[in-house]
Amino acid sequence: MSGFFKDKRIVVTGGAGFLGRYVTEGLDDRGCEKILVPRSRDYDLVKGEDVRRMYDDMKPDIVIHLAAVVGGIGANRRHPGKFFYENLMMGVQLIEQGRLYGLEKFVAVGTVCAYPKHTAVPFREEDIWNGYPEETNAPYGLAKKMLLVQSQAYRCEYGFNSIFLLPVNLYGPGDNFDPRTSHVIPAIIKKCVDAVENGRDYIECWGTGNVSREFIYAADAAEGILLATEHYEGPEPVNIGSGCEIRINVLAEKIAEMTGFDGVIRWDKSHPDGQPRRGLDISRAKNGFGFEAKTPLNRGLRATIDWYLAHRR
């Protein structure tokens, strides 16, 4: 613990959300005494005047921007316009008003969805502009990717210190288990647990199950974000991942076993798979600020399942 955060005023947008709670806990563990979380009831971060007022009220030294309108494939397909507009405008307003305010540092947290649909695995940061994102989440991914463009443009013209991070798919205790908006791990956990409790002999999952994903435990992702906040000053994007890729059908079988579901997993091929593969090159984060994920998938899944079993009611 270096003491870097102790006397700084840190605003964490989305600090009450899933990843945000891990980031604020990490700041507290580092001795940060001024952790500030703007709430949507007080500040609509899509609106420039509210963002300006937030800066005037909270007077941050550093902003870690985690707030996002986000969901799984279904939510992205239902709300492409909302996901594009609100994610774009939040980031654009926060960076612009941060520049005018004289912010010390801005940490833009993007998404792996910004990568092209057919990126070679492992995804290298240099490949981020080599094609169009996977169609089901392209509006969200492109909105977030514009914050990389803005960060680099503002660094070039104004000397504004903004960095851009690309976390892979998150999971962990406290995740969103709402079937309308959840991502793949909490969705499958809930399906399996519900099937066990209701005596059903099958569950149904979207797609073919043959695509792959990389996952990072949310506490590990938060550690990577905080290490980058303290130590990384570069203009180039940085992947935040675990370096471990797994096929979705294998993941589903693993979760079924861990939840005690011994029925059939049916794959509904009328629904899209999303991006064919996801696996990150994590060397830039390791070399740039010493980040490596610590939580193996099995241990992280066990903790996530146990949390859900304890809190689902």
For residue range 160-217, what is the model confidence (pLDDT) as tens digits? 999 999 999 999 999 999 988 899 999 999 999 999 999 999 999 999 999 999 999 9
The pTM score is: 0.95
The pLDDT value given to residue 2? 78
Closest Cα partner for 210 from 253, 260, 243, 240?
253
Q: CA torsion sign, 297 to 303 to 306 to 312?
A: negative
Instruction: Quote the CA–CA distance of 250 and 256 in Å, as a whole number.
Output: 10
Among 169, 170, 246, smallest CA distance to 210 is for: 246
The residue written with tokens 């792959």 in the block is 212
Q: What is the chain's mean pLDDT, rounded?
A: 96
Cα–Cα distance, 278 to 121 (Å, whole number): 7
Residues 9-175+214-245+277-295, CATH architecture: 3-Layer(aba) Sandwich (3.40)
Task: State the CB neighbour count (10 A cutoff) for residue 167.
Answer: 23
Indicate which residue of 43, 55, 115, 140 is catalytic.
Answer: 140
Domain ranges of the chain: 9-175+214-245+277-295
Backbone angles phi, psi at 147, to 5 degrees: -70, -25
Strand partners, 133: 116
Neighbours of 276 (CB within 10 A): 13
Half-sphere exposure of 241 (CA within 13 A, CB side): 26
Q: Residue 203: beta bridge partners? A: 265
Q: What is the pLDDT of residue 83?
A: 95
Between CA 61 and CA 101 the distance in angstroms is: 10
What is the pLDDT at residue 1?
64
The token duo for 229 is 């906040």
DSSP run (H or E) holding 208 = none
* Residue 109: both structure tokens together: 């947290």
Side-chain-side CA neighbours of 76 within 13 Å: the count stands at 24
* Per-residue pLDDT at 313: 75
Query: How far is 27 from 21, CA to CA, in rounded Å?
Result: 10
| Strand order, beta sheet including 245-247 | 169-171, 212-217, 245-247
Q: How many CB atoms lie within 10 A of CB 81?
A: 8
pLDDT score, position 76? 81
| Spatial distance between the Cα atoms of 59 and 103, rounded to a whole number of angstroms | 9
Question: Angle 112-115-119 (CA atoms, 0-180°, nearest 5)?
Answer: 120
43 is annotated as an active-site residue: no
Instruction: Please choose, from the candidates 121, 69, 134, the residue with its C-alpha nearest in 3D space to the C-alpha of residue 277.
Output: 121
Mean pLDDT of successive 10-residue stretches along the chain, which has 313 residues: 91 97 98 97 97 98 95 84 97 98 98 96 97 94 97 98 97 94 94 97 96 98 98 98 97 98 97 92 98 98 98 86
Cβ atoms 157, 146 nearer than 8 A:
no
What are phi and psi for residue 123, nearest 5 degrees? Answer: -65, 120
